[in-house]
Structure 1
Amino acid sequence: MQGKHLSAILPFKPEFGFGVFFLFQEEKSQEMSTNLKYLSLGILVFQTTSLVLTMRYSRTLKEEGPRYLSSTAVVIAELLKILACVLLVYKDSKCNLRTLNRVLHDEILNKPMETLKLAIPSGIYTLQNNLLYVALSNLDAATYQVTYQLKILTTALFSVSMLSKKLGVYQWLSLVILMTGVAFVQWPSDSQATAAKEHSAGSQFVGLIAVLIACFSSGFAGVYFEKILKETKQSVWIRNIQLGFFGSIFGLMGVYIYDGEQLSKNGFFQGYNKLTWIVVVLQALGGLVIAAVIKYADNILKGFATSLSIILSTLISYFWLQDFVPTSVFFFGAVLVIAATFLYGYDPKPAGNPIKA
């Protein structure tokens, strides 16, 4: 055995070399997928935290002249989202303008009924985006972030009723914990009374109502959009272009109905500054970031990103914006909400009999 050549023991086979090559390529692909997963989650944390804080700051900052109209900011964000999605479709078309033109023509113009399906969720999303400005004009970023997690509850309930999804025991338990946590966060305290000097109790109530309506609209529109995506073969970027198209129309209607008088006095871009444009860009990129997270990450990691965003928003609200005084009750409620977020995404391997509502 020792006198034999290695080639006699392990004769060379061409497929062995190709096998090593493909194994190396697979490992490289898995590593890239892992990097994209954590990169998308990092971007989600940055986008969510930055949007909430900058939007809050831009709506409470005292400045000379008229403040920017949130309704116009929603419209600009929709137009930017359309532009970003067109660029992504262009990339998928191998950067060929003719192919891009054909895809847009075939998938949007030649399928009017498919395009019209997006009118309902688009109108709801437009309402939701306007409500978020109302909420952050009246609530501090930390309270808003925690309370807005009620969208997990509404999304779950709409998923059960509209998509016939089945929720496990852990998910039902997480929804109960979530509601309990949000109730603690909204529990009135002496520190909230002190912090409410700038905002009346009425405006705090308006902010809470705005968040609750936004949660219901987010849950319904999200599940409706998911149902459409599952029933058709159009790409998520094409669907987002359709959403943005109707969103721009509904948004412009809102601008002229609710802010028409101010618009005629000071113009469409009244009060716009660098901070306003940052808010608009962050809002426009929100849906695209979520799409990337859904593609590359799982629910548990998404829950981790959401929890980290809540913690960062709380710390920055306290130390930088100084519009929030945390209490032990708030912290307890926030911990419950974070735990519920993790628990909802938890999927044990030995799954038992699921519970259907």
Structure 2
Amino acid sequence: MASTRLKYLSLGVLVFQTTSLVLTMRYSRTLQADGPRYLASSAVVVAEVMKIFTCVLLVFKEHSYSWRALNSILRQEIAHKPIETLKLAIPSGIYTLQNNLLYVALSNLDAATYQVTYQLKILTTALFSVSMLGRRLGVYQWLSLLILMAGVAFVQWPSESVAGPEKEVSAGSQFVGVAAVLVACCSSGFAGVYFEKILKESKQSVWVRNIQLGMFGLVFGLFGMMAYDGERVMESGMFQGYNTVTWAVVVLQALGGLVIAAVIKYADNILKGFATSLSIILSTLISYFWLQDFEPTGVFFVGAMLVITATFLYGYEGKPSPNPSRA
């Protein structure tokens, strides 16, 4: 009974985290506020700091709140194993790129279109799993991937509702947003499978691995922030434009990987597909009724239903879900 409660609790938290992150990130990037808008590169850095801090607390809890045990684990698993730690530099750099791309995507796409298109990470993860891990996909998995591609193609079908000069601007913004999502899907698939391979080859705690990822992510994030927004940071600080919504985005992004880890531990792929589908539906409804930045069309709904069907079908034979332990 307790495990059933944990299963549905973890799924409920996943639906909440996924939906609220997309909507608050979109809202934060389109909100008209006084003063400068917050720097996406800065938000990525702060989220990494939060992830590291949270994972350190979880390791501390795992070892009965012993400072000596925590210090010993961190020294043995990180400081004394530099080669093992360096292996995490590749997925960490890719995750950092991916996190920055998601801000670009949600600055140019409505939440509903982003949510549906981002499910292409199932396709990229599956293909990298086959090529890197030698995993074999069943008939249902291959069929689901074909349905997924068809669904995303329908979602991206050009709308006739916008005319004239506005259409050019909209098309340009949509192209940037879709390109950002597609690159994020590829990076998500590769980094997720690479990270899974590393986890399977070692006996380290997943939280220790996430600390290692976070350390490199923090370094890459700081370099990225100074390279792209260095002048603005020097002029107004890295927390310029931060408000309550910004902090909500950062916290939700930081907790994403921990939520996925809980779902993988307590739930299965069928229920995770249900949670993903529910998140897509909620994002679509809220994007239409609250953010009012999305005009649904019949073609979009056909595409969304195909994507939702694909998420269920992919988990039908119990294959591992995309990006274990890290969002």
Q: TM-score, normalised by structure 1?
A: 0.87
Q: Does 1:183 align with 2:146?
A: no
Q: CA deviation at 1:199?
A: 5.3
- Partner of residue 119 from structure 2, selected from 132, 149, 153: 149
Alpha-carbon distance between aligned partners in 2 of 1:112 and 1:298, rounded to the nearest angstrom: 34
Q: Does 1:84 align with 2:77?
A: no
Alpha-carbon distance between aligned partners in 2 of 1:253 and 1:39, rounded to the nearest angstrom: 37
1:248: which partner in 2?
218
1:293: which partner in 2?
263
Gaps of at least 5 residues in structure 2 are 319-327
Q: Is the 8 A contact 1:138 1:199 kept in 2?
A: no
Alpha-carbon distance between aligned partners in 2 of 1:92 and 1:345, rounded to the nearest angstrom: 31
1:106: which partner in 2?
76
Residue pairs, 1:306-325, within 5 angstroms? 306-325=276-295
Alpha-carbon distance between aligned partners in 2 of 1:137 and 1:281, rounded to the nearest angstrom: 19
Residue pairs, 1:26-37, within 5 angstroms? 31-37=1-7
Gaps of at least 5 residues in structure 1 are 1-30, 349-357
Alpha-carbon distance between aligned partners in 1 of 2:194 and 2:242, rounded to the nearest angstrom: 34
- For residues 193-245 of structure 1, the C-alpha deviation after alignment (integer angstroms, 9 at most, x for no partner) is 69x67953211100000000000000000000000000000010000000000
- For residues 299-330 of structure 1, the C-alpha deviation after alignment (integer angstroms, 9 at most, x for no partner) is 11100000000000000000000000101100
Q: Does 1:346 align with 2:316?
A: yes
Q: CA deviation at 1:63?
A: 1.1
- For residues 166-211 of structure 1, the C-alpha deviation after alignment (integer angstroms, 9 at most, x for no partner) is 00000000000000000000001123669x6795321110000000
Task: For 1:45, give the aligned amino acid.
Answer: V
- Partner of residue 133 from structure 2, selected from 163, 168, 189: 163
Q: Say if 1:197 and 1:53 are closer, same or farther in 2 by CA, change over 3 A.
A: farther
Residue pairs, 1:64-75, within 5 angstroms? 64-75=34-45
Q: Does 1:277 align with 2:244?
A: no
Task: For 1:144, give the aligned amino acid.
Answer: Y
Residue pairs, 1:216-235, within 5 angstroms? 216-235=186-205
Q: CA deviation at 1:34?
A: 1.0
Residue pairs, 1:7-156, within 5 angstroms? 31-156=1-126
Task: For 1:70, give the aligned amino acid.
Answer: A
Q: Is the 8 A contact 1:192 1:325 kept in 2?
A: no
CA RMSD of aligned residues (A): 1.3
Alpha-carbon distance between aligned partners in 1 of 2:253 and 2:163, rounded to the nearest angstrom: 31
Alpha-carbon distance between aligned partners in 1 of 2:254 and 2:180, rounded to the nearest angstrom: 20
- For residues 90-132 of structure 1, the C-alpha deviation after alignment (integer angstroms, 9 at most, x for no partner) is 1100111111111111111111111111000000000000000
Alpha-carbon distance between aligned partners in 2 of 1:106 and 1:214, rounded to the nearest angstrom: 33
Alpha-carbon distance between aligned partners in 2 of 1:105 and 1:193, rounded to the nearest angstrom: 61
1:355: which partner in 2?
none
Alpha-carbon distance between aligned partners in 1 of 2:170 and 2:305, rounded to the nearest angstrom: 27
Q: Is the 8 A contact 1:138 1:207 kept in 2?
A: yes
Q: CA deviation at 1:265?
A: 1.6
Alpha-carbon distance between aligned partners in 1 of 2:182 and 2:207, rounded to the nearest angstrom: 28
SS of the equivalent of 2:37 reads coil
Alpha-carbon distance between aligned partners in 2 of 1:159 and 1:272, rounded to the nearest angstrom: 39
Q: Is the 8 A contact 1:191 1:327 kept in 2?
A: no
SS of the equivalent of 1:246 reads helix
- Partner of residue 302 from structure 2, selected from 315, 320, 332: 332
- Partner of residue 213 from structure 1, selected from 183, 196, 199: 183
Task: For 1:260, give the aligned amino acid.
Answer: G
Alpha-carbon distance between aligned partners in 2 of 1:339 and 1:222, rounded to the nearest angstrom: 23
- For residues 255-289 of structure 1, the C-alpha deviation after alignment (integer angstroms, 9 at most, x for no partner) is 01011111122111100011100000000000000
SS of the equivalent of 2:161 reads helix
SS of the equivalent of 1:234 reads coil
Q: Is the 8 A contact 1:148 1:212 kept in 2?
A: yes
Task: For 1:334, give the aligned amino acid.
Answer: A
Q: How many residue pairs are counted as aligned between the two chains?
A: 317
1:12: which partner in 2?
none
Alpha-carbon distance between aligned partners in 2 of 1:192 and 1:44, rounded to the nearest angstrom: 35
- For residues 141-171 of structure 1, the C-alpha deviation after alignment (integer angstroms, 9 at most, x for no partner) is 0000000000000000000000000000000
Q: TM-score, normalised by structure 2?
A: 0.95
1:22: which partner in 2?
none
Query: Quick check: which has more Rg, 1 or 2?
Result: 1
SS of the equivalent of 2:307 reads helix
Identity %: 79
Q: CA deviation at 1:341?
A: 0.3
- Partner of residue 259 from structure 1, selected from 229, 239, 242: 229
